[in-house]
């Protein structure tokens, strides 16, 4: 009887052990499936688009893009004001945003660990695509008497907010004119602060790297006779030879009430994303933006075209964005 009781107890323990093992195995298998789902791209509930100051072009465009992405994907998306390009790259690295505006030159510096990113390369960004030329505008007023880049010597000149790409542009343009930042009274102001400084007479001029027309400069032109200092053709050639991501550009006649077009140079604005966003999510974001540009009221929307989005990118394109461009047969210009 005791043997039978012991045998029954042993059998029950074995059965119980098998059941527990099966349950445990089932949990492990379920966990593996969830991990696979996550790695293939769990759809986030919320995304931030990092833009720039309210007086620039990134912020209004980012607001339109956020609305488009929210409507098309169901992901709650908003646009955040920031110090623009360089700050945005660091914020992506620090997981403070999912999508960001930047200049093509700054994105290259970030991934290569050069200039302001020396010793701090950003390894978790990939491109959605380029958007439009970012014109370098050296803004002043007629009453300042400044007509040439050389006239900036000794003057109070804003080179943009700390962390923006404008500072690098200012330094490189001054360089081809044989000047250094030490030759000006450097001010680190946002576009809005720069314009207010010019209005109030606290600064003499400002570098503004943004799509034209730029809201802050338009506001200035309402009360002052705006002057855009030209970048001479030979200096533009020298700049492009040393820094190939620049292109020749101009501020068109009529912009800011200018009587004639002003020659200058430009880099390109682009959108980047965190590289660990799933292919499906980035595909949906890319498609939503490039197929709903008619919903963007900013004038720059007219220059944003999917067929140009792979030109001058300079960093790796996210597989989700690449999938969209491949479907459309879009390739980078040779």
Q: What is the pLDDT of residues 297-325, one digit of tens each?
A: 988 899 999 999 998 888 999 999 999 99
* Average model confidence (pLDDT) across the chain: 87
User: Any idea which of 128-137, 145-154, 161-170, 311-320 has the lowest mean pLDDT?
Assistant: 161-170
pTM, 2 dp: 0.71
Question: Residue 118 — pLDDT band, cuts 50, 70, 90?
Answer: very high
The larger pLDDT score, comparing residue 162 to residue 287, is at 287
7 pLDDT above the threshold of 90: no
pLDDT of residue 145: 97
Q: Is residue 289 scored above 80 in pLDDT?
A: yes
Kindly report the three-state secondary structure assignment for every residue of the chain.
CHHHHHHHHHHHHHHHHHHHHHHHHHHHHHHHHHHHHHHHHCCCCEEEEECCCCCCCHHHHHHHHHHHHHHHHCCEEEEECCCCHHHHHHHHHCCCCCEEEEEHHHHHHHHHCCHHHCCCCCCCEEEEEEEEEEEEEEEEEHHHCCCCHHHHCCCEEECCCCCCCHHHHHHHHHHHCCCCHHHCEEECCCHHHHHHHHHHCCCCEEEEEECCCCHHHHHHHCCCCEEEECCCHHHHHHHHHHCCCCEEEEECCCHHHCCCCEEEEEEEEEEEEECCCCHHHHHHHHHHHHCCHHHCCCHHHHHCCHHHCCCCCCCCECHHHHHHHHHCCCCCCC
295's tokens: 């919903």
Cβ atoms of 45 and 76 within 8 Å: the answer is yes
pLDDT in tens, 227-237: 999 999 999 99
pLDDT at 64 over 50: yes
CA 260 to mean position of chain CA atoms: 31
In whole angstroms, what is the distance from residue 94 CA to residue 91 CA? 5
Q: What is the pLDDT of residue 15?
A: 41
Structure tokens at 149: 């880049």
Q: In this predicted model, which residue has the larger pLDDT, 169 or 215?
A: 169
CB-neighbour burial class of residue 84 (10 A; exposed 0-12, middle 13-18, buried 19+): buried
Q: Considering Cα of 112, then 116, then 120, then 124, what sign does the dihedral take? A: negative
Identify the band that residue 211 occupies on the pLDDT scale cut at 50, 70 and 90.
confident
**What is the predicted pLDDT for the residue at 116?**
87
Q: Residue 37 corresponds to which tokens in the numbers above?
A: 């789902």
Compute the chain's Rg from CA coordinates.
27
Report pLDDT for 41.
Answer: 61
DSSP β-bridge partners for residue 262: 251
Predicted pLDDT of residue 243: 86
pLDDT in tens, 171-197: 999 999 999 999 999 999 988 899 999
Query: CA-CA distance, 222 to 329, in Å (whole number)?
Result: 44
Q: In angstroms, rounded to a whole number, what is the distance separating the alpha carbons of residues 90 and 103? A: 14
State residue 231's pLDDT score.
Answer: 98
Mean pLDDT of 56-83: 96
Strand 205-210 and strand 125-141: pairing? Answer: antiparallel
Domains in the chain with CATH codes: 46-133+269-327 (3.40.190.10), 134-267 (3.40.190.10)
Q: Please give the pLDDT value at position 161.
A: 78
Q: Please tell me the predicted confidence (pLDDT) of residue 53.
A: 87
* CA diameter of the chain: 113
* pLDDT value, residue 254: 97
Structure tokens at 8: 């029954």
Of 298 and 40, more confident: 298
What is the pLDDT, as a whole number, of residue 17?
46
């Amino acid at each position: 009887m005791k043997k039978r009781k012991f045998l029954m107890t042993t059998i029950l323990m074995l059965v119980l052990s098998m059941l527990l093992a099966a349950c445990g195995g089932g949990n492990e298998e379920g966990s593996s499936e969830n991990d696979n789902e996550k790695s293939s791209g769990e759809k986030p509930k919320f995304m931030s688009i990092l833009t720039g100051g309210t007086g620039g072009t990134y912020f209004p465009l980012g607001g339109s893009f956020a609305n488009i992405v929210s409507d098309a994907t169901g992901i709650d998306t908003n646009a955040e004001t920031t110090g623009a390009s360089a700050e945005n790259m660091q914020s992506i690295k620090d997981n403070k945003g999912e999508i960001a505006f930047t200049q093509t030159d700054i994105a290259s510096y970030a991934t290569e660990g050069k200039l302001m990113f020396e010793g701090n390369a950003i390894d978790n960004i990939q491109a959605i695509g380029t958007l439009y030329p970012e014109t370098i505008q050296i803004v002043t007023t007629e009453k300042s008497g400044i007509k040439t880049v050389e006239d900036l010597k000794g003057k109070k000149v804003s080179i943009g907010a700390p962390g923006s790409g404008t500072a690098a542009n200012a330094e490189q343009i001054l360089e081809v004119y044989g000047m250094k930042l030490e030759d000006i009274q450097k001010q680190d102001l946002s576009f809005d602060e720069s314009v207010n400084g010019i209005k109030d007479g606290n600064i003499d001029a400002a570098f503004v790297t943004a799509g034209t027309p730029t809201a802050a400069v338009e506001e200035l032109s309402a009360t002052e006779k705006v002057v855009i200092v030209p970048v001479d053709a030979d200096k533009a050639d020298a700049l492009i030879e040393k820094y190939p991501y620049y292109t020749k550009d101009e501020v068109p006649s009529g912009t800011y009430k200018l009587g004639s077009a002003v020659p200058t140079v430009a880099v390109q604005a682009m959108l980047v994303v965190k590289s660990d966003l799933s292919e499906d999510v980035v595909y949906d974001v890319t498609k939503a933006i490039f197929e709903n540009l008619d919903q963007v009221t900013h004038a720059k929307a007219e220059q944003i075209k999917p067929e140009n989005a792979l030109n001058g990118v300079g960093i790796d394109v996210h597989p989700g964005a690449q999938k969209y461009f491949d479907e459309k047969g879009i390739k980078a210009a040779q």
